[in-house]
Amino acid sequence: MNHTNTEKLEQFERLLNIMTELRAKCPWDKKQTFESLRTLTIEETYELADAIIENDKSEIRKELGDILLHIVFYAEMGSETQDFDIYDVCYGLCEKLIYRHPHIFADTIAENSDIVMQNWETLKLKEKGGNKTVLSGVPNSLPALIKAHRIQDKARSVGFDWEHREQVWEKVQEEINEFKVEIGEMDQNKMEAEFGDLLFSLINAGRLYGINPENALERTNRKFIRRFNYLESKTISIGKDLKQMSLSEMDVIWDEAKKLEKRE
């Protein structure tokens, strides 16, 4: 499957030609706008994320194709209004990659990935039309969990971080205690605020130990779904309904599901 660059370019050109023809002739493609494609693009991105989590290489390939379709779709619409085309997209990306990797394309030295990230953020702030502040590059529409991780990553890139990662646990404990205080007061607004602080500190702890919080939580989500599905199917197989079972009865089957996973 080692195709030459010439072969790759041929297929990319073929894709561009197909997209141009679809925009000109297909009723559905003709009526699409940047706004109408936006939610579909988000959906395709999540489908790619699912394929990556499942480590399904065939699905990853297919979902990458769907995302590539959206990229050339946007570029085709941009060319129709003469705002930009796929050349401008590729040219801008190439220039950015060269500029932000001076340790590859210039004489800067970067001994590890942390230095690469710090250089990246510093150069980003210097770019004309680039981010004016460190955190301005974090999209507002990101899901809160991912956004928190990105905010912390951005702050770290300019040196705003714990000196030793073990220090974060004192902060986590502090936030737990503050949350417990607000639970005692039963003020919904303050409880939510303190719970947010607690989540933020836990995400920070995960980051410091090289754990992506989104991936970690999704693993737990999937684990819970597997075990709950087992609980539900086992309950049905013995002629019962979950609503009729006690929690202790459910726990017995839940433990079965856990033991089965350990054997696999």
Which pLDDT score, from 0 to 100, does residue 115 have?
79
pLDDT at res. 44: 94
Alpha helices in the chain (DSSP H): 5-25, 27-31, 34-53, 57-80, 86-99, 102-105, 113-126, 144-157, 168-185, 188-208, 213-237, 247-263
Out of 3.40.50.11540, 1.10.3720.10, 2.10.109.10, 1.10.287.1080, the CATH code matching 137-212 is: 1.10.287.1080
Count of positions (residues) in the chain: 264
Based on the number of CB atoms within 10 Å of its own CB, is 1 exposed (0-12), middle (13-18) or buried (19 or more)? exposed
Sequence-distant (6+) residues with CB within 8 A of 178 are 194, 197, 198
User: Using H for helix, E for strand and C for coil, what is the string for 173-239?
Assistant: HHHHHHHHHHHHHCCHHHHHHHHHHHHHHHHHHHHHCCCCHHHHHHHHHHHHHHHHHHHHHHHHHCC
Token pair belonging to 74: 């946007």
Q: What is the pLDDT, as a whole number, of residue 128? A: 59
Ordered per-residue pLDDT tens for the chain, 264 residues: 789 999 999 999 999 999 999 999 999 999 999 999 998 999 999 899 889 988 999 999 999 999 999 999 999 999 999 999 999 999 999 998 998 888 888 878 877 887 777 777 777 777 756 667 788 878 888 889 999 999 998 888 888 898 899 999 999 999 999 999 999 999 999 999 999 999 999 999 999 999 999 889 989 999 999 999 999 999 999 888 898 889 999 999 999 999 988 776
pLDDT tens for residues 185-235?
999 999 999 999 999 999 999 999 999 998 899 899 999 999 999 999 999
Report whether 58 contacts 39 (CB < 8 A): no
CB contact at 8 A, 250 and 242: yes
pLDDT at 157: 80
Q: What is the CATH number of domain 9-87?
A: 1.10.287.1080
d(Cα 204, Cα 138) in Å, to the nearest integer? 16
Beta carbons within 10 angstroms of residue 206's beta carbon: 19
- Residue 72's nearest CA partner among 93, 86, 90 is 86
Same fold, 9-87 and 137-212: yes
Q: Which residue has the tokens 């205080």?
A: 181
The encoded tokens of residue 190 equal: 């303050």
Sorted by where each begins, the domain ranges of the chain are 9-87, 137-212, 215-263
Spatial CA neighbour of 74 closest among 46, 102, 37: 37
